[in-house]
Amino acid sequence: MDEKEIKKEMDRLISVLEKANYQYYVLGRPELTDNEYDSLLEKLKRLEEKYPHLAREDSPTKRVGSDLASDFPEVEHSIPVLSLDKAYSTLDVRAWIDRIRKTETGDFAITAEEKIDGISLVLYYRNGLLSQAVTRGNGRKGNDITANAKTIRQIPLSIPVQEEVIVRGEVYLPVRFFDEINKKMEVPYANPRNLAGGVLRRIKSSEVAAVPLHFFAYEAIFDSAPDSYSDILNLLREWKFSVNDNFFRADTSLGYDKLFSAIEEFIKKETERRDYLDYQIDGLVFKLDSISMRERLGHTEHHPRWAIAYKFEAPQAVTELLRIDVQVGRTGRLTPVARLKPVELSGSVISNVTLHNQDYVQALELSPGDIVGISKRGDVIPAIEKVVEKAENSPPVWSMPQTCPVCGSQVEKKGSHHFCSNFDCPAQIKGRLKFFVSPRQMDIAVLGNETIEYLVDKGHIKNISDLYYFDYTVLISEQGFGEKKISQIIKGIEDSKKLPFSRLLIALGIPDIGPSVVKALVDNNLADIDELKKIAEERDITRLTAIEGVGESTANQLIKWFSDERFLSELESLQKAGFSLREKPEEKKDGIFSGQTWCITGSFNNFNPRSKAQKLIEDNGGKVTSTVSGKTTHLLAGESAGSKLAKARELGIKIVTEDEFISMLDSVKNSDKNKNQQPELF
């Protein structure tokens, strides 16, 4: 496309989106689905990013979709009433947190709540009374619908504060009323949201009062507001607003992994809960808890930088399935992969999508040539959702080959997967080696995929142990292998030998034997080659299943592998190369905090991030949890500690200040000194 055509396409998108905005916001009768709308908006956004000089000032990407109607007086908002930035996956949420981290040092709390699919309303309270209720409008100006809003019972007409308070929230119609009320409408509405929007703009308040509209409050903006969103929500509750209780709060001091698994859990819980709620939600809203941080981050013309909406449904794209290839993995598993005609979806070009296994292909009734709908639902990984249009003279549903596409060996079906039966299949060899050297395993970065492929194709390496016996210096004359690279490989190989047996065992990639099983073996003193061989010889399955976390099939795998001659001789070679094949459980840390459960709150001068304090407690035998409960024995309270401190006081938990904590640690330092050793505390 030349620029003229691109400009034309952008103009076309803008006029389609503007019409859709009017139908959606003002008439409450959209003709596009939200997915279609979002896809078009994404498309326009991408074009504007690529051709910024063609972007129009009045583009719908730059402003809030307007719901201004001519029947009501227009009022200027005293704050910008914005839209929200969108996330379609937890990775998008992660990227948002990363952006905040770039400017904000130290830990911060994130909250999440349901994104009510209703009508945005801004309430202005002055001298303790509801003085104006204004729609979002175009973000700067809205319609004054005060009389109508006053008919909604969840909107208090007065609040116990004199200064100006702006309350934001969502008007919605509970789902249980929708059908019955909709039946009485001249032209029925498609959903409760549209009905609520239509009713709220009725001229006669008595007509509005006849419909049981509800209101959830979610922000309050006023000069003396507390610095925490959670505290503000509690104030709103005290003022008799209806505040949604499905709420999540977590702190970055948890560490990234824990924070994200908590976020994922909340998303999962809400995705399930969604269908049982009496109001519709179209996503979740993640926000920063700290109001002062929010102010520092500010907003764009379109959305605040301190919040992001996670949407349950991702936009879809439609494209053609060109063919289905089969990949063979390290365990021999055959995975069908769809090759698509490249298509853009939420900002990335998609041309390959996994199809998992034959059952999956069967369920979709896929065959090459089909036109398919793909989405990135709740995940970054795109998936084929459905066949939109069958191929002409459609071939039968695609099926798995009978032989391995790499080595030609017979294919076996186990459960819902197919496997190449040949352990020496080049694809399996390469897969095992790539897994072995990968960052989470032996972490030998110089041995990248290409190098592994080369070494296997040249016949230099076949088994994992070969990595430790091959003379890499002979590669010097070969392309791509300089002296530097070779010495890096040798160093990586040498370093890896120092890793404990547990790491080696996981890296060998035995099916089912992952980190948790291996940890259980270590903890039970069974990460020992002789022990494992003995158990395998005696087929002592109960010895293994007695361990928590080891089931029968895992136990059988272990027995199978530790009686396999070939595997054992591999291990022997690795041992001769320098690996240790036994590992003792880590001694339980004993120390001044043994038997204690600590919780940490507030901010500190010496422990930034807070995880530093957490580590010190754990290193000295204590446990750290994120909430104060009956089990908590100590609360480490830094500056501006909030609700946790109050709760700890209530429960009579010992409260420790930063200075007291340091002197507790000092006492260990001193007593250790007497033992002639001085551990690093800070």
Ligand X SMILES: NC(=O)c1ccc[n+]([C@@H]2O[C@H](COP(=O)([O-])OP(=O)(O)OC[C@H]3O[C@@H](n4cnc5c(N)ncnc54)[C@H](O)[C@@H]3O)[C@@H](O)[C@H]2O)c1
- Binding residues for ligand X, rule: CB under 6 A, are 20-21, 23-24, 30, 32-34, 37-38, 64-65, 83-84, 113, 115-116, 120, 136, 170, 218, 285, 309
Cβ closer to ligand X: 190 or 681?
190
Stretch that binds Zn ion, among 43-51, 409-417, 518-526, 659-667 (CB under 5 A): 409-417
* 169 neighbors 124 (Cβ within 8 angstroms): no
Q: Among all residues, whose Cβ is closest to ligand X? A: 120
Cβ closer to ligand X: 285 or 467?
285
* 338 neighbors 384 (Cβ within 8 angstroms): yes
* 170 neighbors 120 (Cβ within 8 angstroms): yes
Cβ closer to Zn ion: 402 or 627?
402
Write each residue from 376 to 405 as x if it is in contact with Zn ion (CB under 5 A), else as -, in one continuous string.
----------------------------x-
User: Residue 476 to residues 362, 486, 491: CA-CA distances in angstroms?
Assistant: 50, 7, 16
CA distance 212 to 209: 7
Cβ closer to Zn ion: 409 or 657?
409
Annotated catalytic, 86? no
Phi first, then psi: what are they for 407, rounded to 5°? -115, -5
CA distance 369 to 391: 5
* 438 neighbors 429 (Cβ within 8 angstroms): no
Q: Closest by alpha carbon to 319, among 273, 280, 352?
A: 352
In the complex, the smallest distance separating the C-beta of residue 269 from ligand X, rounded to whole angstroms, is: 16
CA-derived radius of gyration, the chain: 31
In the complex, the smallest distance separating the C-beta of residue 72 from ligand X, rounded to whole angstroms, is: 18
Q: Known binder of ligand: residue 36?
A: yes
User: Residue 483 to residues 466, 475, 497, 584: CA-CA distances in angstroms?
Assistant: 20, 9, 22, 38
Q: Known binder of ligand: residue 25?
A: no
Cβ closer to ligand X: 145 or 429?
145
Q: Known binder of ligand: residue 404?
A: yes
Three-state DSSP class for residue 284: strand
Q: Closest by alpha carbon to 155, among 130, 188, 185?
A: 130
Q: Known binder of ligand: residue 38?
A: yes
Q: Known binder of ligand: residue 629?
A: no
- Residue 425 binds Zn ion, judged by CB under 5 A: yes
- Residue 420 binds Zn ion, judged by CB under 5 A: yes
- Residue 600 binds Zn ion, judged by CB under 5 A: no
CA distance 284 to 309: 6
Q: Known binder of ligand: residue 583?
A: no
Cβ closer to Zn ion: 397 or 407?
407
Q: Known binder of ligand: residue 245?
A: no
In the complex, the smallest distance separating the C-beta of residue 150 from ligand X, rounded to whole angstroms, is: 19
In the complex, the smallest distance separating the C-beta of residue 98 from ligand X, rounded to whole angstroms, is: 21
In the complex, the smallest distance separating the C-beta of residue 345 from ligand X, rounded to whole angstroms, is: 15
- Residue 429 binds Zn ion, judged by CB under 5 A: no
Q: Closest by alpha carbon to 464, among 494, 427, 495, 504?
A: 504
* Long-range CB contacts (within 8 A, 24+) of 656-661: 658/604, 658/605, 658/606, 658/607, 661/613, 661/636
In the complex, the smallest distance separating the C-beta of residue 591 from ligand X, rounded to whole angstroms, is: 44
Angle made by CA atoms 226, 95, 349, in degrees to the nearest 5: 145
Cβ closer to Zn ion: 26 or 411?
411
Select the residue interacting with Zn ion from 407, 446, 547, 568 (CB under 5 A): 407
Of 43, 45, 86, 115, catalytic: 115
Phi first, then psi: what are they for 123, rounded to 5°? -105, 130
Q: Burial-class residue 479 by CB neighbours within 10 Å (0-12, 13-18, 19+).
A: exposed
Three-state DSSP class for residue 378: coil
Q: Known binder of ligand: residue 42?
A: no
In the complex, the smallest distance separating the C-beta of residue 244 from ligand X, rounded to whole angstroms, is: 7
**Residues contributing to the annotated binding site for Zn(2+):** 404, 407, 420, 425
Residues annotated in a binding site: 34-38, 83-84, 113, 136, 170, 287, 311, 404, 407, 420, 425
Active-site residues, by number, are: 115
Question: Would you tell me which residues interact with Zn ion (CB under 5 A)?
Answer: 404, 406-407, 409, 420, 422, 425
Annotated binding-site positions for NAD(+): 34-38, 83-84, 113, 136, 170, 287, 311
